[in-house]
Amino acid sequence: MKNRRQVIGFILSLVIGIFGFGGKIRTGFGIAHAKVKRFKRTLLPRGAPMAGLISKNPRKLDTRNLETTPMDQFDVMGQDIYNVNLETWRLDLSGALEHPQKFRYEDLLKLPAVERNVLLICPGFFAYNGLWKGVSLSKLLTSAKMKPSATHVKLSGPRGIRRKSKKFAVEEVMADKIFLAFQVNGEVLPERHGFPVRLVAEDHYGGRWVKYVDRIQVIKG
């Protein structure tokens, strides 16, 4: 009798184990699927209307086929007037760096440039795909020798009561998805869009695209 009970118990344990293992497999596939779904981007067709993108999350969009939006179709949110004296203006790069630096506007123009189409979305208001040209933030930080303790990069601008700051993880910045633009669509960046330089933050809503940037701080954890 004892042996019989042991056999039955063994069979039951085996059955439960099989179902439990199957459940883990299904759970594993579910997690994997969730991750794929989370990072899957929707490929936008050429000619996709900008008006149809104002409620979309830029992280979920593949914009490789989008045309450049003409400047006369650009809209603007937030501060759009800020007079800059280029004789005194400086871009201050400081924080967890071996070599903090300050750049004049003409210094930035002489640096190797990055240029790419990046979609800007202000949810519920407008979207446009600009051809932005500027300075690689990752190259600035590499040149200034960022310290290993650095965890985030904070960009701020402009000076005054309307100053705005946004932080980004170092990993994202060094992936070159974030840069400082001084031109858009082949033209000098207009004042209303952040002259002399503004942040271009791929995959982020326009509210994080700081305008009139004059300070970059590397923050350590």
pLDDT per residue as tens digits for the range 6-30? 444 444 444 434 334 343 333 333 3
Separation of alpha carbons 78 and 200, rounded Å: 15
Separation of alpha carbons 147 and 156, rounded Å: 20
Work out the angle at residue 97's Cα, subtended by the Cα atoms of residues 91 and 102, and round it to the nearest 5 degrees.
20
Mean pLDDT of the chain: 87
In angstroms, how far is CA 172 from the centroid of its own chain? 7
- Per CATH, the number for 49-220 is 3.90.420.10
Taking residues 171-186, what's their average pLDDT? 96
Separation of alpha carbons 67 and 204, rounded Å: 19
Helix (H, G, I), strand (E, B) or coil at 86: coil
- pLDDT tens digits, 98-150: 999 999 999 999 999 999 999 999 999 999 999 999 999 999 999 999 999 99
| Residue from 155, 124, 160 nearest 137 by CA | 155
For position 39, what pLDDT does the model report? 56
